Structure 1
Amino acid sequence: MEVTPRRAGMVALLALLPVLAFGIFRTWWAGAITLINVLIIAVSLYLLMSPTEEEAHEAHADNGVENASDEAL
């Protein structure tokens, strides 16, 4: 099973369930701080696992012709 950015973000957002329970059964402000932390982690995972612009550019530019730098090696 390949881990895509979308799937990793969804799994990270599952942490919102304990945050909700923590916010309900403890103080509301502690739940709010925990919610912000979970969202920061989820966004970070998404950005970490998403393809970069260079990778996307290389995928579109690859037409079976080798680059000149590859021939020099």
Structure 2
Amino acid sequence: MMPAGAIDLLQPCDAILLGAVGHPEIADHTTLNGLLLPIRRTFDQYANVRPAYLYPGVESPLAKARGDDRVSFEE
């Protein structure tokens, strides 16, 4: 899934940003074992940090919140 040498290209970076990963025609274990786990193991990353912000004028299921920003940590 990941090209040979991709981890070496990522080594000097301060951050790695991943967008949507996966495709209906590709088995989940392919993206997990071929992309996500190698990155997480190499860089000792185990948590997903997902911020959620409320923006004025944008509808959200969180809109009744007090306007707090939220961060979700997933392991």
TM-score (norm 2): 0.29
Larger radius of gyration: 1
Structure with the largest fraction of strand: 2
TM-score (norm 1): 0.30
Structure with the largest fraction of helix: 1
